[in-house]
Amino acid sequence: MRKLNWCGWVPAVLAACSLAHAEEIGIGVLNGTAATEAAFRQAEPGTLAEEGKTWNFIKPAANAATTVSTLKTAAGVSTEASCAINPGYCASNGIFASGRNRDYLLMDSWAGIRGTENVVISRLPDSMAEYCHVEIYGDCNDSDRDMLYTVNGLTGTIQDRGTFSGAFQEGVNRLTLKYVPVTGGTITITGNGASQTRSAINAVRLTAPSPGIVTFTATPSEIMEDSTSGAVLSWKTWKCGAVTLSTRDGRDIPATTEDGTGSVTVKPDATTTYILSAACEDGTVSKEEVTVTVRKQEPEILLFESDKKRVAPGSDEKATLTWSTVKAESLALTANGAEIPITSTAGAGSVQVSPAETTQYTLTLTAADGTEKSKSLIISVLAENTPNVLVFLVDDMGWQDTSVPFYYKDGQPVVTELNAFYKTPSMERLAAQGMKFTNAYSCPLCSPGRTSLMTGKTSARHRVTNWTAVNAPTLNEYSGGLPHIRAPQWNMAGMSQQEIPLPRVLKDAGYRTITVGKAHFAPSNQLYSNPANLGFDVNIAGCSAGQPASYRGEDQFGSGNTHVPDLEEYYGTTAAEDRKRNFLTNALTLEMKKQIKAAVDENAPFFAYMTHYAVHQRHDQPDPNGDYDTYPSGTSFEPGVSIGGNLRNFGTLIGGMDKSLGDLMDYLKELGVANRTLVIFMSDNGGDAPIQQSYSGDIPWLEKISAVAPLRGRKGSRYEGGTRIPMIVGWAEVDSSSPIQQEYPIPQNSVNHDIVAIWDIYPTILNMLKLKVPVGHQVDGEDISPYFRGDSSFHRTQKIFQHFPHHHSYANFYSTCRKGDWKVIYNYMDQYAHTDLYSGNGYRTAGRFPWQLFNLKDDIGESNDLAQDPAQQERLMRMARSLIRELRQADAQYPVLTRNGQAVGTAYIRMPDFPDVDSDGDGVPDLVEDANGNGVIDPGETDPDDASSFVPIRQ
């Protein structure tokens, strides 16, 4: 590798400059390792740490200022310069070892800076009094970190993607900033923002610059053809005289400089490179280049907008449509397909419209070559009493994490120990005002359930069947390292861009769409990592993270990949009142209040998606707004006994969440819109309370229950505790005089035991708002709004299925189907067991029975498996076929069988081996009609559930 000196990193045109005697100061960080200055001297020279060059070493401590005075130049000459470093973190990469050169030692230790943490180098020598070239070397023990540096106003980035391996690369472990302006003899270096990971400082090198061009820029650097304004070339020189400006093809452009600065406007017809040459006082010539790119102007609609998104019905209220285009041969405007006469001047114009109904306006541009481009917008016609919707979604809240009883036996509520432990008065209030669903379901994990809510589809259909990572990993990482089975090619990138999300439909209908809180729809580099792209007008705190780095404002809500963004207002102190206000759940609630008020002030109906990070882990940070210091009555502990640990903390998260619900309902009433605001309360998946694992030995009554008792399992599980959720629907304020409540008089304090699902919300909301599911958007959910009319004759289809072709902490590779009171589970791992995979022809059935069957009415805890009960064989066969057909209809993806890392087959579901079962009583066993046992009717097969499908062969 070339020697790294000044001539090695300036443009090639300066490479001939003689800078061998330029004054230079190098500063290296040493901390936390066995590496010492003595070891540095004993090691072989490197590319950066060259032979004969002196380095100054500083040994900082985290959160403490450290200063080294009398810095020496590379030539060993003492100066008055000093370096003070104030890092928030110090670490070592552990790469310096015997036999490695000095570069490795310099890149071994680093100090981390962010926010107000900094490095200050002051009293610089006279040769650096005005400008200084600065090299920053940064390499942290994180293999994937973007590090920003600001040096006296100039900025640059290092993208650290791996530990130093001997080579220095610009932008990878080195940042070079030329002609940094020196202020008062001082250079100040700061790093990433206060809420980000820290920027690493391993070493800094300052070099006295030679006379030359400080800056040469083009603004803008890209223009369109026929641009009338062109681009401005600007420059600044230091210790130089006259300048000349020319194009690369030799055309001269008049240019003058005054006090080292100058500018000129250029209007090139094609992409052009400009060369600035400056005569320096040391006799050299400095040159720099910039390129102005000229783009061909394609026919385009630059602007098409309305000054109003909605108008009142029957009001003759007018809206003004405005447009601007380029290279349009002709323009046409339609309203719901009917043409509207318009006139344009130079491709621009406007027209007033008075829609009598919600109308889509489309502007179509036709170019000279006949190509067309269109843009559309919608103006909604919405009555003043149009209902608002508040979806209140809690993260990882279980069916029993509340004082509201959802467990009923023989028609009566059963108040469990968990119900007695938790205190959720706001949920009780909503349940008293509306309808409680005891058999509501979501998906086993966060991202699948949230995607189902936004699309109206089961996870089998939308294929976000697992949680999405901040940075999408490989399939193997989602399969638990199992050597014989892995997940299919599911939508690891999150929700498909082909979907039409619920907020987009509502936004197009004139609703102000708001999301505050957790998103978790896609990894950080995907479109839907930003919920605004789903159709939300406002997104606060929603990103790719599935959990918060910290719930605390004084922690700035953490750092790194799971930092919660957009909440700088709540970066408070540790004072008690600050902690209450700035705890994440409360901060999000305050932000939602602001956005709801903005919608009400605008007289706009709103869809508010209050999606809390609570009560997801981390469970080591109690919510100061939740009171769980002592046990309440109703548990096996006497009231007043102190609670500690994560159980208390989790209880406070529940309490803070419940307070948020009450605060929002109160605020809706204060704003005068509670009587037309529908509140839908749900969790995104089964519960994950810190019960059973951490407390089974400490708290007697918890030894007997799970986190979601009496349900079996928890978040991720194939059992009811993994997918059954609390769900309550009601008006924020009951008002029989409200027109919308007269249409939907949700029975107060009512209990609904029918099966419903989170994917029912999409069609239900649209129907209640008199909107339609978009054409071409298939939904699995059913409109359950008849329940809210009090229609006792209505029942949603009493069937639901789940599909999880993945590895998870609590379950591996399963599909389930519930019909009425019965539930069947298929375990792919039992059908395709690891130890029995190989035979002469490859994979074979393992021999472990993969089916489970439960009667939830009699056995809600799923403890009595009836799958191999002879009396239930016919039921199991019917339910197995129902599950298989649901999966096929949804085009579900199945687990993949692997050998030596290669896919070798698909883990399809196999029917139970019950050769004597004849479900339809036609005299032909099911496995004769379904000869290949795959549960579907293939060509040449008949339906085992339909006696009329079998036609006997005549003798």
Rounded-to-integer distance, Cα 342 and Cα 565, Å: 45
pTM: 0.75
pLDDT at 286 exceeding the cut of 50: yes
Mean per-residue pLDDT for 301-326? 92
| List of residues 6+ apart from 458 with CB closer than 8 A | 452, 757, 759, 780, 801, 803, 890
Band (pLDDT 50/70/90 cuts) for residue 9 is very low
Beta strand pairing call for 372-381 and 310-311: parallel
Separation between Cα atoms, residue 447 and residue 453, nearest integer Å: 10
CB contact set of 909 (below 8 Å; sequence gap of 6+): 815, 826, 828, 831, 880, 883, 884, 887, 894, 934, 935
Least confident residue range of 11-20, 119-128, 186-195, 232-241? 11-20
* Rounded Cα distance, 818 and 942, in Å: 25
**Range list of β-strands (E), 88-247:** 89-92, 109-113, 118-122, 131-137, 145-151, 154-160, 174-181, 187-190, 199-201, 203-207, 212-219, 222-224, 231-238, 240-247
Backbone φ and ψ for 362, nearest 5 degrees, come out as -125, 125
> Is it the case that residue 5 has pLDDT exceeding 50?
no
Are the CB atoms for 529 and 519 separated by under 8 Å? Answer: yes
Structure tokens at 252: 């001269």
3-state secondary structure of 730: strand
Which pLDDT score is estimated for 899?
78
What's the confidence (pLDDT) of residue 829? 82
H helix and E strand count, the chain:
19, 49
Which helix or strand (DSSP H or E) is residue 819 part of? strand 812-819
- CB-based burial of residue 734 (10 Å sphere; 0-12 exposed, 13-18 middle, 19+ buried)? middle
Distance of CA 892 to the CA centre of its chain: 24
Q: Which of 372-376, 377-381, 538-542, 682-686 has the lowest mean pLDDT?
A: 377-381
Output phi, psi for 451, to 5 deg. -70, -35
First to last CA, the chain: 89
Q: Which numeric CATH code is attached to 213-295?
A: 2.60.40.10
CATH number of 811-908: 3.30.1120.10
d(C-alpha 857, C-alpha 394), whole Å: 27
**Angle at the Cα of 48 from the Cα atoms of 45 and 52, rounded to 5 degrees:** 50
Instruction: For 831-888, write each residue's pLDDT tens digit.
Output: 775 443 333 333 334 457 899 999 999 999 999 999 999 999 999 999 999 999 999 9
Q: Are strands 109-113 and 199-201 parallel, antiparallel or unpaired?
A: antiparallel
Is 546 within 8 Å of 467 (Cβ atoms)? Answer: yes
Distance CA 328, CA 744 (A): 50
Give CA–CA dist 708/694, Å, rounded: 15
Q: pLDDT value at position 474?
A: 60
Please give the order of strands across the beta sheet that includes 348-353.
300-306, 319-326, 348-353
Please answer whether residues 268 and 294 qualify as being in contact, where contact means their C-beta atoms are separated by less than 8 angstroms.
yes
Token pair recorded at residue 442: 């979501």
DSSP type of residue 149: E
Higher pLDDT, 783 or 358: 783
Q: In this model, does residue 631 exceed pLDDT 70? A: no
784 CB-contact burial (10 Å; exposed 0-12 / middle 13-18 / buried 19+): buried
State how far the Cα of 815 lies from the Cα of 804, in Å rounded to an integer. 6
Q: Pick from 66, 105, 108, 109: which is nearest to 87 by CA?
A: 66
Q: State how far the Cα of 149 lies from the Cα of 155, in Å rounded to an integer.
A: 6
Reported as a single tens digit per residue, the pLDDT across 699-756 is 444 434 467 889 998 999 999 999 999 999 999 999 999 999 999 999 999 999 999 9
Closest CA to 817 of 880, 910, 869: 880
Q: Mind listing the pLDDT tens digit for each residue in 69-122? A: 899 999 999 999 999 999 998 888 888 887 899 999 999 999 999 999 999 999
Assess contact for 277 and 243: CB atoms under 8 A: yes
Taking only the tens place, the pLDDT of each residue in 589-621 is: 999 999 999 999 988 999 999 999 999 998 888
Residue 332 CA, distance from chain mean position: 40
Q: Is 712 left (phi over 0), alpha (psi -120 to 50) or beta?
A: beta
Instruction: State the Cα–Cα distance between residues 925 and 944, nearest whole angstrom.
Output: 8
Position 559 confidence tier, pLDDT thresholds 50, 70, 90: confident
How far apart are the C-alpha atoms of 921 and 900, rounded to whole Å? 46
How many CA atoms lie less than 13 Å away from 905 in the CB half-sphere? 15
Q: Which two tokens stand for residue 920?
A: 């339809």
Token pair 């609703």 is found at 511
Greatest distance between any 2 Cα atoms in the chain: 113
> What topology is assigned to 390-472+498-794 in CATH?
Alkaline Phosphatase, subunit A (3.40.720)
pLDDT, averaged across the chain: 89
User: In this structure, what DSSP letter does residue 482 have?
Assistant: -
- DSSP classification of residue 127: G
Strand partners, 460: none
CB atoms within 10 A of CB 594: 12
Torsion of CA 824, 827, 830, 831, to 10 degrees: 90
From the list 35, 318, 85, the residue with the least C-alpha distance to 190 is 85
Whether the Cβ atoms of residue 312 and residue 355 lie closer than 8 Å to each other: no
Identify the residue whose tokens are 């005549």.
954
Put residue 22 in one of left, alpha, beta given phi > 0 → left and psi -120 to 50 → alpha: beta
Which residue type sits at 303?
Answer: L
| Cis status, amide bond into 516, omega within 30 of 0 | no
Distance CA 103, CA 55 (A): 12
In the prediction, which pLDDT does 460 show? 98
Alpha-carbon gap, residue 277 to 290, rounded angstroms: 12
Across 795-824, average pLDDT: 93
Q: Where are the domains of the chain?
A: 6-209, 213-295, 300-367, 390-472+498-794, 811-908
Q: Residue 483 phi/psi, 5° resolution? A: -80, -10
pLDDT at 560: 78
pLDDT score, position 639:
62
Give the closest residue to 757 by CA, choosing from 328, 501, 460, 458.
458
